[in-house]
Amino acid sequence: MKKDVLILSQFFYPEYITSATLPYETAVDLSKHGLSVDVLCGYPKNYNTEKDIPSKETVKNVNITRINYPNFNKNTFLGRLLNYFAFTVSMLLNIMRLKNYKVIIVYSTPPVLPLVPGLASMFFHTKMIFVSYDIYPEVAIRMNAVEESSIISKIMKKINNLVFKQTSKVVALSSEMKSFILNNRNIASEDIAVIPNWANDVILKQKSEVKNTLFDGLDYMNKTIISYFGNMGTAQDMATILNAIRSVKENKNIHFLFAGHGNKMDELRKSVYDEELKNVTIYDYLHGEDYTDAQSISDGFIVSLEEGLDGLCVPSKTYSYMSAGRPIISIMNPECDISRDLVYHNAGFAVLNGDNENMVKSILSLTNKELVDTMSSNCKKLFTDKFTREIATSAYADLVYLTMEEN
């Protein structure tokens, strides 16, 4: 007899990898909704720095099987590409496992992975739910990572044709992503569900309660701290942020805090050093209490997308910002769900890419404590009303049940 759900994911379980924690939380919560759930995923060699992770285990009624595959340097484009294909080939070698499930949930990262459940749907008549984190090859083309006429782009288009022909349901992370999928893929509107990513609720400390020596020297008690955490890569508009930093560098009451990774992080470090921008502090990726304390000393956050990427990807870090209950400055198309939510609920600001004047105005507004307190409360309520884990994973459970019921 077939089990209910198999989740395919390259990474699963390490708490500090967003692309791993969201599938993990989905699996656990689907099980809580009465579904039998197994996971087939990769072994996280590149990320496993703290402890041994077993190849098989059962966690909260979820059976997890991890498969080994060749690992290349994840910090280079070629290395990541080779990892994607190596992992997908390893999954193809395990395709017979997929026939034992009613529904396969697969993610768009890595972008070639959905080929596996697509073939399983064709051969075994399993149903597939495709979760679109990023839309390929379009996002890679717009970021100039690949040429539209390249062999990689052509392969991706072939894979997309097969995948969307076999997909029962698609999860889009935003309404603008749904619109893009509807206009550029062969699938009906009623088969695309908009389910945003989420964050777990956090209760932050008061600034005065933070005793973390990592932040000694920031003088966060007497300054407005505006923070950017997470990826600083090709998809993020760091230029608009950096120009605003230059514009307010003489304001001794504002300080910018960065922590994360990405190919634009080195550029940021170089600019800060070369231009002697004393109003900036940069850390590597923060985990655990260090990250929570960094949130606690922040008065506001920044989230960004490069121009032209709306509808192709959604910065999931936004939801952890909302959970923290601090105002957010979004740098992206103002018609994106994130920007519209922030403005409509008076929980932050929406700034166009390259609009330095309004970016600076938004930053200066965060020096107004009364406004920050109001926006913080609104942002926390927005998170509670729309972006909790329980809301999102319940929507996933409903979608799985609906998919199983349909002929």
pLDDT of residue 94: 92
**Do 144 and 236 fall within a single domain?**
no
- Name the pTM for this structure: 0.91
In the block, tokens 């996933």 appear at: 396
CA distance 309 to 39: 31
CA distance 152 to 81: 10
More reliable by pLDDT, 80 or 173:
173
CB 189 within 8 A of CB 182: yes
**Do 46 and 86 fall within a single domain?**
yes
Number of separate domains in the chain: 2
Q: Which residues on neighbouring strands pair with residue 9, listed in sequence order?
A: 41
- pLDDT (tens digit, 9 = 90+) per residue, 360-392? 999 999 999 999 999 999 999 999 999 999 999
pLDDT of residue 161: 92
pLDDT of residue 236: 94
pLDDT of residue 265: 92
pLDDT of residue 77: 67
- Supply the mean pLDDT for the chain: 91
Tell me, what DSSP letter sits at residue 214?
A: G
User: What's the CATH code of the domain at 166?
Assistant: 3.40.50.2000
pLDDT of residue 129: 97
For residue 108, the enclosing domain spans 3-198+388-405
**Do 237 and 343 fall within a single domain?**
yes
pLDDT mean over 130-143: 91
Asked whether residue 264 carries a pLDDT value surpassing 80, the answer given is yes
**Do 60 and 174 fall within a single domain?**
yes
**Do 177 and 260 fall within a single domain?**
no
pLDDT mean over 289-309: 95
165 to each of 130, 160, 292, how far by Cα in Å?
A: 11, 8, 43
**Do 243 and 288 fall within a single domain?**
yes
- pLDDT (tens digit, 9 = 90+) per residue, 339-359? 999 999 999 999 999 999 999
pLDDT of residue 13: 67
For residue 208, the tally of other CB atoms under 10 A from its CB is 10
Asked whether residue 14 carries a pLDDT value surpassing 60, the answer given is no
Out of 12-16, 260-264, 268-272, 316-320, which region has the weakest mean confidence (pLDDT)? 12-16
CB 171 within 8 A of CB 130: yes
Phi/psi of residue 130, each to 5°? -100, 120
Instruction: Read off the tokens for 328.
Output: 């957010």
Asked whether residue 47 carries a pLDDT value surpassing 60, the answer given is no
**Do 229 and 309 fall within a single domain?**
yes
**Do 175 and 306 fall within a single domain?**
no
Asked whether residue 199 carries a pLDDT value surpassing 50, the answer given is yes
pLDDT mean over 148-166: 90
Q: How confident is the model at residue 49 (pLDDT cuts 50, 70, 90)?
A: very low
**Do 216 and 316 fall within a single domain?**
yes
CB 125 within 8 A of CB 25: no
pLDDT of residue 305: 95
Percentage with pLDDT > 90 across the chain? 74
**Do 135 and 239 fall within a single domain?**
no
**Do 11 and 134 fall within a single domain?**
yes
Instruction: Read off the tokens for 65.
Output: 């099987």
pLDDT mean over 83-95: 87
CA distance 338 to 311: 11
Q: Which of 183, 87, 188, 141 is nearest to 406 (CA)?
A: 188
**Do 179 and 242 fall within a single domain?**
no
Segment of 57-71, 144-158, 242-256 carrying the highest mean pLDDT: 242-256
Q: How confident is the model at residue 95 (pLDDT cuts 50, 70, 90)?
A: very high
Q: How confident is the model at residue 65 (pLDDT cuts 50, 70, 90)?
A: very high
202 to each of 86, 225, 291, 324, how far by Cα in Å?
A: 37, 19, 11, 6
